[in-house]
Amino acid sequence: MKDHLDLHAFADGELSAAERAEVEARLKTCAVSSKTFESVQNLKSVVGEKVEPVTCLKTWAKCTERLDELEKRRKAERFVSKYAWSMCASIALMIGFVGVFNRAAGGSQVATGDVARMVAGLSPLSQRAPQDRSVDMSQWLRDVSQGAPVGAQANALQPVSYSQGVVDNRFVTIVNFQDASGQVSLVIVKGAERVDGMTPQVGRSSYNAGQIDQMNCVSWTERGFSLLLVGDRPHEELGRIADTIRGQ
Amino acid sequence: MLFGRRNTRDAFERQAEKVFPSVFGTALRLTRSREDAEDLAQEAIVRAYDAYERFDGTNFKAWILRIVTNLYINRYRQRQRGPQMGSLDEEGVLEPMGDETDVPDRQLFDELVGEEIEEALARVPDDFRLAVVLSDIEGMSYQEIADITDVPIGTVRSRLARGRAMLRKQLLAYAKREGYVKEEDIIDLP
């Protein structure tokens, strides 16, 4: 009998009645088989009796925690799969509503970040400003900006170039001025009554101060226009130039 | 619906808790590391719960031990150290057990304690050890072991006989080292 497998099966109670009878008969006559069978039985009982049960209460507790987590995840997945369309529709509606609200509430204001974009967007359309000193610069400035409130003393500054166009549905004019200290830019945005991202300028309550593209800037709003003066100069000096432009 | 899920969870936990010592014990004897066994047993419980709806309702213990075994083979076996299949051919001829000494096994192993048997068992290669654990510790039938390990019954019988022979040799060597067996009693100790 190859490897005495039948003796193991006999010890394990895995033989049919006929096979059992055959093995029992052989055990009576074969000493080797008899000793092997005894050895199998003893080993089984030694292992069965002496191996101690494992302690696993803590591990079971961890298992139930894992099951709780799985349940929570399933619950969330069920919720999402059940209400996915309605959630998508709600989010789309919310985005639409917020967009409409922003349009309504924020239409009359412009952010400093937008101004930088406006300046960059208009630059390629730059045109030369009139160089003739006899031209009334204040009038010219009002003309190119579609009526921005700029004053008579603007003649003290020399415009070099200007650009104009429509950005974000707003008419924008940029005029670059030159004086002994260099260039400053006046950005005129029609229809914007507030500039976000600026703080009131110290000592000059009629202006707000801030920075655009790492350059100092002062802004003011008047008669439906937002005006920003941007240049690489201190806010105080920009404020004085702004006074000149406003005719104050 | 909610109550249905609650009932499913309760039914699963009732069955799983009852067989969990077998799940953890088998995991421990397969991995030979408490940390890995905890990980394996937890993962098996989670997988079983996940697949509980597909359980045919006949033999929960065999079903969950099959999950443990498959997980072990797929995840842990590659990085386990120690004896694997070894050089033993499953179809090779095995010497009959009980030839080494004239002293009955009962007397030979009487002094051994559970921990020493576990150590000897840990030295038996995976497939043979699993067959011995499932049969002699967990009390599974040949058919159940065949289902759990996904091999024919003939292979189960063969692995079991070889596993026991290897375990006995380990125990005999251990008994000799510890002085439980006198040298003169041993005829041919491997």
Model confidence over B126-146: pLDDT tens digits? Answer: 999 999 999 999 999 999 999
Q: What is the DSSP string of B156-190?
A: HHHHHHHHHHHHHHHHHHHHHHTTSS-GGGBS---
Interface test with A, best of B136, B156, B180, B181 (most A CBs within 10 A): B136
Identify which of A73, A76, A68 has the alpha carbon closest to the alpha carbon of residue B6: A68
Q: What integer best gives the mean pLDDT of chain A?
A: 83
Range B76-82, long-range pairs (CB < 8 A, 24+ positions)? B76/B30, B76/B31, B76/B36, B76/B40, B77/B126, B80/B31, B80/B32, B80/B126, B82/B32, B82/B122, B82/B123
CB contact residues (below 8 A), chain B span 102-131, against chain A: 104-106, 109, 112-114, 117-118, 121
Q: What is the structure's pLDDT at B37?
A: 95
Of B99, B106, B158, the CB nearest to A42: B106
Q: What is the structure's pLDDT at A107?
A: 57
Question: How far is Cα B127 from Cα B43, in angstroms, rounded to an integer?
Answer: 21
A48 neighbourhood in chain B, CB within 8 Å:
136-137
% of chain A surpassing 70 pLDDT: 90
> Taking CA B60 as the corner, what is the angle to CA B55 and CA B62, rounded to the nearest 5 degrees?
110
% of chain A surpassing 90 pLDDT: 21
B79 Cα to chain A: minimum distance (Å):
22
Q: Tell me the mean pLDDT in the region B34-45.
A: 95
Residue A97 pLDDT > 80, yes or no? yes
Lowest mean pLDDT among A80-89, B22-31, B35-44: A80-89
Residue A12 pLDDT > 90, yes or no? yes
Question: How far is Cα B132 from Cα B162, in angstroms, rounded to an integer?
Answer: 9
Lowest mean pLDDT among A98-112, A214-228, B80-94: B80-94
Give pLDDT tens digits for A110-166: 777 777 777 766 665 567 777 776 777 777 777 877 788 877 555 567 788 888 888
Q: Beta-carbon neighbour count of residue B73 at 10 Å?
A: 16
Per-residue tokens: A159? 């415009």
Q: Tell me the mean pLDDT in the region B149-175.
A: 92
A216 near A209, Cβ under 8 Å?
yes
Residue B120 pLDDT > 60, yes or no? yes
B16 neighbourhood in chain A, CB within 8 Å:
63
B128 near B175, Cβ under 8 Å?
no
Nearest residue of A to residue B165, measured between CA atoms? A40
Q: Tell me the mean pLDDT in the region B65-69.
A: 96
Q: With H, G, I as helix, E, B as strand and everything else as coil, classify residue B96.
A: coil
Range B51-57, long-range pairs (CB < 8 A, 24+ positions)? B52/B8, B52/B12, B53/B8
Question: How far is Cα A229 from Cα A112, in angstroms, rounded to an integer?
Answer: 12
Measured between CB atoms, does A30 come within 8 Å of chain B?
no
Q: What is the structure's pLDDT at B187?
A: 46
Question: E strands of B15-131, at which residues?
Answer: none
A66 neighbourhood in chain B, CB within 8 Å:
42, 45-46
Residue A25 pLDDT > 80, yes or no? yes
Residue with the larger pLDDT of the pair A153 and B28: B28
Q: Do B158 and A54 touch (CB under 8 A)?
A: no
Of A44, A52, A66, the CB nearest to B45: A66
Q: Do B41 and A59 touch (CB under 8 A)?
A: yes
Residues near B138 by beta carbon (within 8 Å), at least 6 away in sequence: B22, B25, B26, B61, B65
Q: Tell me the one-letter amino acid at A50.
A: K
Q: Residue A243's pLDDT band (boundaries 50, 70, 90)?
A: confident
Nearest residue of B to residue A7, measured between CA atoms? B161
Q: How many CA atoms lie within 13 A of A111 on its CB side?
A: 6
Q: Do A44 and B136 touch (CB under 8 A)?
A: yes
Give burial (CB, 10 Å; 0-12/13-18/19+) of B47. Answer: middle
Residue with the larger pLDDT of the pair A40 and A132: A40
CB contact residues (below 8 A), chain A span 45-64, against chain B: 45-48, 50-54, 56, 59-60, 62-64
Question: How far is Cα B184 from Cα A219, in angstroms, rounded to an integer?
Answer: 108
Q: With H, G, I as helix, E, B as strand and everything else as coil, classify residue A166.
A: strand
* Ramachandran quadrant class, A139 (left: phi over 0; alpha: psi -120 to 50; beta: rest): alpha
Q: Residue B4's pLDDT band (boundaries 50, 70, 90)?
A: low
Nearest residue of B to residue A67, measured between CA atoms? B46
Per-residue tokens: B150? 């996904």
Please give the order of strands across the beta sheet that includes A158-167.
A127-128, A158-167, A170-179, A182-190, A225-231, A215-222, A204-212, A199-201
